[in-house]
Structure 1
Amino acid sequence: MSKKKFGLNTICTHVGEVKDEQFKGAVSPMYLSSSYEFLDVDVKRYPRYFNTPNQEFLSKKIAALEHTEAAMIFGSGMAAISTMFFAFLKQGDHLVVQNTLYGGTVNFIKEEFPKYGIEYTFTNGYTVEDFEAAIKPNTKLIHIETPSNPLMTITDIKAIAKLGKSKGVLTSIDNTFASPVNQKPIDLGMDMVMHSATKYFGGHSDICAGAVASSSEHIERIWNVGKNLGGSLSDITVWMLERSMKTLGLRVKAQTKNAIKLAKWLEKHPKISKVNYPGLKSHPEYKLAKSQMSGFGAMMSFELLGDIDALKFQKKLKLIKSSMSLAGIESTMLSPYLTSHALLSQQERDNVGINDQLIRFSVGIEETKDLKRDINQAIVALELS
């Protein structure tokens, strides 16, 4: 049966398994060797070449989920995106990049691109007109992130893909927040899609990894750079990631279901001034999100009223964890100005709307009534202190 005909949970469970031909085990065996046969073999395997058995087969699962010909896994999300950038950008080239996106990506571009003579422009906004205005004759790549971290802005994927094709410019997207469960950018015309696989792919806050999926041609070009940069992933972690991805569909759908309930509740909460979640009808891009997402995801952000200290609030939480990362099965909250966007200046954060009262909320699989109770008790505890 064709993999394209498989349903989501079937792909998660079965595609990309390494068959245990010797003992017929139910799960993939783990190949820890860093040295493989060189003579008289079709594939010269080596961990840094991203082609050990576990690396090769997990990439097939990711490609199947993203509807691409091929994929690669990396040691982190930043290893994935930096390798992708360097594969398609050289001295004298120009990148157009969305102004609202993960702070680590912003910092990488600003810190590293000048060293290599690569030009870049951050858009003034995230409409297709903003991207078109930023394109130059030497533009080679447009990069977007939707939903964006942490403001949950929504960019028109199909329009950006169409713009790129009309200008002869490649397009890439960070699909981490949506995951392939809720969004398929390749089906909307994008050329490349990347993930911090640390997040929903891993899902249990115990893996650091990254991924890029695209055509075989593009992946070969990324591989040629990747083998030189050396950002491969150990087979122990690859095995853990494949194990975790078997439940990707179940986890993300449960988290998404919880998130919409909590977003609606927070929007009515007297101590919350604003909620950023694309599944709310009050979100400025609600209709766009609905048109390009099959689910609105489990990430949101919200702002507390000014009389509530955001950090003190987080310290009062008992169930929801204050955590650096996101997308695990457990719910977490953090202040982006101290974590994901700490490398940006105060002015840069102000320009994109990241203030000290903003809290990023990664919704887990817990019962929503318990999460609501925890938020309320934290606010009451502050009021009584």
Structure 2
Amino acid sequence: MTNKRKGINTICTHVGEVKDEQFKGAVSPIYMASSYAFEDVEVKRYPRYFNTPNQEGLCKKIAALEHTEAALIFSSGMAAISHTLMAFLKAGDHIVFQQTLYGGTYNFAVTQLEKYGISYSFSEGWKAKDLENEIKPNTKVIYIETPSNPLLTITDMNAVSNLAKEKNIVTMIDNTFASPINQNPVDFGIDIVIHSATKYMGGHSDICAGAVAASQEHIDTIWQSSICFGGSLSDQTVWLLERSLKTMALRVKAQNDNAQQMAAFLENNVDIDAVYYPGLKSHEDYNLAMKQMCGFGGMLSFELKEGLDASAFMKALQLIKPSMSLAGVESTMLSPVLTSHALMSKEDREKQGIKDGLIRFSVGIEEVEDLIMDIEQALAKVKLNTVLA
């Protein structure tokens, strides 16, 4: 029975588990050693080389989830992004980034790449033709994000892959918002899949990690430079992440269902000016999302009616937490201009369509009725204070 024939919950639960040969425990034992034997062994293990027993097991699980040959895990999502980019770029090279992009990735590009003689361009939009317009003779990588953070734009992965293959360009995607449960980019021709494993893979707002999944050849390339940069993950966190992945499919499917209902509620609320969620038929790329996603995710964004203060609204919430990060089992909201995209200039944020009043909503697994009640009471307070002011 191959990994591809196993059900998603079976993969989450069993693939990559480390066998407890001594005591026959039902879960993977944790190996905390930072020093291993080097003589008369098949593998010379060292944590920075990504090959401790727990690291190897977790990588097998992530590769199976993303339908790839291999994977690597890192100490954070940005470690996964930066290690992967630097493995495929050198002085004189050029990279094309999708315009709608996570703020941390954007900041890495504009503050770090030029130090290494690497040039970059941001596309005017998120369509394949927008990316094509930025390609130069020395372009080595196209980097996309779909659904994007925080406006949930959808990029046609097949179109981008076909474009890149014609020009011998490596494609990379940040698949964090979708998770492997809702989208598998390699099935659409993308070469390298990157995750902030802090988010849906971890799912409980208590660990920080990153992951990369790709062909063995590409993973070998990333490994060669990553062992020098030192972004490996501690085995304790590796073990916690492997444990969390066992319930990822169950969690994400519940979050999908809740987010769909919350998006519909917000879209029909007179106090909301705009809702961004690929599962809404009003979304510009709804049909494309239907084609390349098997679930629309637990993330959405919305804008309050003009005149209503977004900060006051979030402070009035009683159940939903105004909090950094995303994808925990608990529902959270934040202001991208103050958090995820704070390192971008106001001008650059506005180019992406990120307004000061935009609120990003990470929908958890609570009952939808409770989430709706919390939003309604917060809106009522904000409206009352607005009138009194």
Tell me the TM-score range normalised by the shorter chain: over 0.9
Counterparts of 1:151-190 in structure 2, within 5 Å, are 151-190=151-190
| 1:32 maps to 2:32 | yes
Distance of 2:189 and 2:349 partners within structure 1:
31
Partner of 2:271 in structure 1? 271
2:50 aligned partner, one-letter code: F
% identical aligned pairs: 66
Distance of 2:379 and 2:81 partners within structure 1:
38
Partner of 1:368 in structure 2? 368
1:355 counterpart SS class = coil
Partner of 2:223 in structure 1? 223
Partner of 1:284 in structure 2? 284
Distance of 2:159 and 2:40 partners within structure 1:
48
Partner of 2:121 in structure 1? 121
2:6 aligned partner, one-letter code: F
Q: How far apart are 1:307 and its partner, in Å?
A: 1.5
Partner of 1:82 in structure 2? 82
Distance of 1:59 and 1:50 partners within structure 2:
9
1:140 aligned partner, one-letter code: K
Distance of 1:289 and 1:383 partners within structure 2:
35
Q: How far apart are 1:384 and its partner, in Å?
A: 2.6
Q: Structure 1, residues 253-284: CA drift from partner, whole Å, max 9, x if none? A: 00000100110110000100000000000000
Distance of 1:351 and 1:69 partners within structure 2:
37
2:134 aligned partner, one-letter code: A
1:140 counterpart SS class = strand
Distance of 1:307 and 1:3 partners within structure 2:
53
| 1:195 maps to 2:195 | yes
Q: How far apart are 1:306 and its partner, in Å?
A: 1.5
1:354 counterpart SS class = coil
Give the TM-score normalised by the residue count of structure 1: 0.99
Q: What is the aligned length?
A: 385
Distance of 1:276 and 1:163 partners within structure 2:
27
Distance of 1:83 and 1:311 partners within structure 2:
35
2:137 counterpart SS class = coil
Q: Structure 1, residues 119-143: CA drift from partner, whole Å, max 9, x if none? A: 1000011111111111100000000
Counterparts of 1:89-168 in structure 2, within 5 Å, are 89-168=89-168
Partner of 1:57 in structure 2? 57
| 1:256 maps to 2:266 | no
Distance of 1:113 and 1:326 partners within structure 2:
27
Distance of 2:305 and 2:159 partners within structure 1:
36
Distance of 2:321 and 2:359 partners within structure 1:
12
Q: Structure 1, residues 57-80: CA drift from partner, whole Å, max 9, x if none? A: 100000000000000000000000
Q: Structure 1, residues 199-225: CA drift from partner, whole Å, max 9, x if none? A: 000000001000000000100110011
Q: How far apart are 1:356 and its partner, in Å?
A: 1.1
2:224 aligned partner, one-letter code: N
1:324 counterpart SS class = coil
2:293 aligned partner, one-letter code: M
Counterparts of 1:13-28 in structure 2, within 5 Å, are 13-28=13-28
Counterparts of 1:37-52 in structure 2, within 5 Å, are 37-52=37-52
Give the TM-score normalised by the residue count of structure 2: 0.98
Q: Structure 1, residues 233-268: CA drift from partner, whole Å, max 9, x if none? A: 000000000000000000000000010011011000
Partner of 2:302 in structure 1? 302
Partner of 1:204 in structure 2? 204
Tell me how large the CA RMSD over aligned residues is: 0.5
1:79 counterpart SS class = helix
Q: Which runs of 4+ in 1 moved over 6 A?
A: none
Q: How far apart are 1:40 and its partner, in Å?
A: 1.1
1:294 aligned partner, one-letter code: C
Distance of 2:371 and 2:202 partners within structure 1:
22
Partner of 1:350 in structure 2? 350
Which residues of structure 1 form unaligned runs of 5+? Answer: none
Partner of 2:6 in structure 1? 6
Distance of 2:293 and 2:2 partners within structure 1:
24
Which residues of structure 2 form unaligned runs of 5+? Answer: none
2:221 aligned partner, one-letter code: R
Q: How far apart are 1:383 and its partner, in Å?
A: 2.3
2:330 aligned partner, one-letter code: E
Q: How far apart are 1:4 and its partner, in Å?
A: 1.2
